[in-house]
Amino acid sequence: MTSWTERYLEVALQAIRDDKRSDVERELRSSITDAIDERVAAGEDAAAAERAVLEALGDPAELAAGYTGRPNYLIGPELFPLYRATVPRIVAASVPIAALVLGALTSLGGGNLADVIGGVISGTINVIFQIAFWGTLAFVVLERADAARAVRDDVVSRIAPWSVERLPKPSPRRVSARQAVGGISGALVAAGGLLFLQSLNMPGPNGAWGLFDGPFGSQWFWFVEIVLVARAALHIVTFAAGRWTMPLATANAILVLCFALPIAAFALSGQLIDFYFADAIGWHGLPDGTGLPMLAVAGGTTLVAALEIALGFARLRPDARLGSILQVSRHSA
């Protein structure tokens, strides 16, 4: 017997349990030899016959999967609904949190704004991949590992049969006029408030000093103003469209980050409030990024931004809740 068959058997038998391997090998070997013999008896060349028989038998890994009953897929149909209901949601929920926390941390490190934004983008992408990878891996292990069989059976037994409660709500909620007016006026009040703060002046050593005369005022104040006006426009568009859609909620999240990240970053790096202005009003520690006022500004902005982003996606579609997929109560022993 030449090497093709030996190599084929080696691959096919690898995954077979020890106590069954020699029996399966003996049987497969005789089946293969039977088939080769018949082709040779019909006048075929021995090497060509062997090749044809093995290729007809197909990928040895697939043959082995037939013997072991081990799945040829990563996550099977029983666990997939749970997988789809959890991992993408955890990833989605962690994106705004990761972006804001990373923004705060990198700006505490005292880098310039380009570094902060670059760090936030690459760090957030990293977080997405990490959670998606480890979350998927956990499900793959649960699906395939022999040691996890008991856990897997328990999880599968808790997955409730599909019921009508899992249907999405009949129609996405309409945006009410009150919600739209609230959103629009919120953005405009914030824009106006910032304009008012910017107009504050105090007589200083070399003339009048504005509250935002530091790096924030010269580079980013108008950017933040434009972002706020854009948010008001977004609320108008959403009202006209009648409901929040994925693109609108995503645009909302980006605009909120464009507003919150510069303010939090400048506050933490001590560059939000001009320090001549602080001297003039007699509060010397006010602009300090490690002082309580600026920490409060950064923390408050982060918190509000996280809420705004979460709210945008929550209004998207009140989907089936995890509780209706997992029957926790039935097994609460």
Partner 1 sequence: MDQDQLGNHREELRRGTVVLACLLALREPGYGYGLLKTLDAAGIACDGNTVYPLLRRLEDRGLLESEWNTEESRPRKFYRTTSAGSELAALLLADVVDLTRSLHSLDGGTNR
In angstroms, what is the minimal distance from the CB of 11 to partner 1? 13
Residue 320 contacts residue 166 (beta carbons within 8 Å): yes
Measuring CA to CA, how many Å separate 212 from each of 134, 198, 218, 233, 320? 44, 6, 8, 25, 47
Return the number of the residue (24 or 202) whose C-beta is nearest partner 1. 24
Q: Which is nearer to partner 1, 23 or 165 (CB)?
A: 23
Least Å from the CB of residue 166 to partner 1: 28
Rounded to a whole number of angstroms, the minimum distance from the CB of residue 58 to partner 1 is 5
Instruction: List contacts with partner 1 (CB under 8 A).
Output: 23-24, 26-28, 30-31, 33-35, 56-58, 62-63, 66-67, 69
CA-wise closest residue to 289 among 265, 262, 257, 261: 265
Query: Which residue, 41 or 333, is less far from partner 1 as judged by CB?
Result: 41
Output 63 or 140, the one with its CB closest to partner 1.
Answer: 63
Query: CA 159 to CA 107: how far, in whole Å?
Result: 44
**Exposed/middle/buried for 8, CB within 10 Å: 0-12, 13-18, 19+?**
buried
- How far is the CA of 53 from the CAs of 16, 21, 239, in angstroms? 21, 21, 67
Structure-token match 């935002």, residue found: 212
Least Cβ distance, residue 3 to partner 1 (angstroms): 20
Which lies closer to partner 1 via its Cβ, residue 73 or residue 196? 73
Is residue 230 classed exposed, middle or buried when 0-12, 13-18 and 19+ CB atoms within 10 A define those classes? middle
CA distance 254 to 227: 10
Kindly state the smallest distance separating residue 34's Cβ from partner 1, in Å.
4
